[in-house]
Homo-oligomer: A and B are copies of this chain.
Amino acid sequence: MSFQDIGVAVVGAGFIGPVHVEALKRIGVRITGIMDTDPKKAEEARHQLALPKAYTDFATILADEDVDVVHLAVPNVLHYTLSKQALQAGKHVMCEKPLAMNAEESAELVALAAETGLAAGVCYNIRFYPLNLEARDMVQRGDVGQVYSIVGRYVQDWLLYDTDYNWRVLAEQGGALRAVADIGTHWMDLITSITGLKVEAVFADLQTVHPVRKRPIGEVETFSGKTLTEDQLEPVDITTEDSGAILMRLEGGARATLSVSQVTAGRKNTLEYEIAGSKQAVSWTSEQPNRLWIGNRNSPNAVLERDPGLVSAFTRPFTNYPGGHNEGFPDAFKQCFRAFYQAIASGQTGTPLYPTFAQGHHEVVLCDAILESHREERWVSVSY
């Protein structure tokens, strides 16, 4: 099957839906349309993105025989229900993270995906920065040696002030965890995919610096807070965390330390990790995604620039521009979807490269354990 033969509907016309659309266009699948429950927004998005249809209800998509795959770019609270319905309707699913609001839901989705044999992915796109794939290959091929420890963070500043608001700050919309679920799971998915090591236990300490936030009378899109005027606001109680630290014990004895924050001034969206192994260390930051630092003990350190001619055969198919021609955020989406559609087009079996529902479930399980650890102030074992 060719990519052009695959029909795709994108659900959600907020910030991230159009990002999906552009990436899908670039890899050459056939987009049937975009959906928003607000007909005006749906039509605007359809026009803006030059797509065939503006959907306004999910049932229409499920009934559309032209649609083979649905992309879910909707608030977290809807992920479970829409994923379930899509799978039941025989559609492949690419769902934004986190996969569900709790582990019961995500476990059910994993089982349903397995039953149906449909491709079911969670959009942990950060794996697909080429140098993150290269780091994965470096660990897998033994360059790094035994992994001793991983340290990193994912920090932002878009919720710094108590006047910053988004549906994600509400537990009922985004889930009981916020910074951990929204950005922390990206980091955890990334380091577990790179190292191939599962997290066995977690210890967490979370922090809500603004127990009350001021909500604009008309709610706003993610990340757009900075240009908002602050005229009409109402107080709203917040139980989700603004920041936190998580310690992890991984298979084989490795440890990981993660800091998350949505209240660190000046860090717009910074994900960093450093993996220390018995032979080498590797370090990457989203602030310079085309560069991988490789630490050596007895020789100079190395800096690998993203370059199809310098990365391994594993990574090369997922990087499209010559060295020095920077790839960025939208390119990681493109490559993530490329892996997903290659699996669909080839009818691939075995463990695919894209983040599966099973892996998305693991992140939900980790979130549950993190919340429990934070509340009980003790190490919590993780069973998936």
**A255 engages B207 (CB within 8 Å):** yes
- Chain B positions within 8 Å of A243 at CB level: 148-149, 255, 276
CB distance from A345 to the nearest CB of B (A): 12
A298 CA to B261 CA in the complex, in Å?
17
**A263 engages B148 (CB within 8 Å):** yes
A327 and chain B: residue at smallest CB distance: B328
**B149 engages A207 (CB within 8 Å):** yes
Q: Mark A181-220, 1 if CB is under 8 A from B, else 0.
A: 0000000000000000000000101010100000000000
A3 and chain B: residue at smallest CB distance: B50
Q: Mark A253-290, 1 if CB is under 8 A from B, else 0.
A: 10101010101111111100010111111000011111
A302 at the interface (CB under 8 A from B): yes
- Chain B positions within 8 Å of A261 at CB level: 148-149, 151, 276
A270 CA to B296 CA in the complex, in Å?
14
Q: Mark A2-33, 1 if CB is under 8 A from B, else 0.
A: 11100000000001000100100110111000
- Chain B positions within 8 Å of A274 at CB level: 264
Interface-centre pick from A268, A287, A294 (highest chain B CB count, 10 A): A268
- Given A157-B297, A245-B255: 15 more A-B contacts, CB < 8 Å: A148-B243, A149-B263, A151-B261, A155-B276, A203-B247, A227-B308, A243-B255, A263-B276, A266-B281, A268-B305, A268-B307, A268-B324, A270-B324, A300-B302, A303-B303
A377 CA to B226 CA in the complex, in Å?
41
**A301 engages B299 (CB within 8 Å):** no
**A309 engages B15 (CB within 8 Å):** no
A158 CA to B270 CA in the complex, in Å?
29
Partner of A327, one of B268, B310, B329: B329
A111 at the interface (CB under 8 A from B): no
Question: With contacts A227-B309, A377-B378 known, is A281 near B268, CB below 8 A?
Answer: no
**B28 engages A324 (CB within 8 Å):** no
A residues 319-341 near B (Cβ < 8 Å) are 321-331
- Chain B positions within 8 Å of A290 at CB level: 287, 328
**B257 engages A245 (CB within 8 Å):** yes
A residues 207-247 near B (Cβ < 8 Å) are 207, 209, 222-223, 226-227, 242-243, 245, 247
- Chain B positions within 8 Å of A289 at CB level: 326
CB distance from A268 to the nearest CB of B (A): 3
Partner of A296, one of B15, B222, B266: B266
**A281 engages B265 (CB within 8 Å):** yes
**B280 engages A265 (CB within 8 Å):** yes
A346 at the interface (CB under 8 A from B): no
A40 at the interface (CB under 8 A from B): no
Q: 5 A–B contact pairs at CB < 8 A?
A: A209-B278, A226-B310, A268-B305, A298-B310, A302-B303
Partner of A331, one of B30, B301, B328: B328
Partner of A50, one of B28, B245, B268, B297: B28
- Chain B positions within 8 Å of A223 at CB level: 322
A118 at the interface (CB under 8 A from B): no
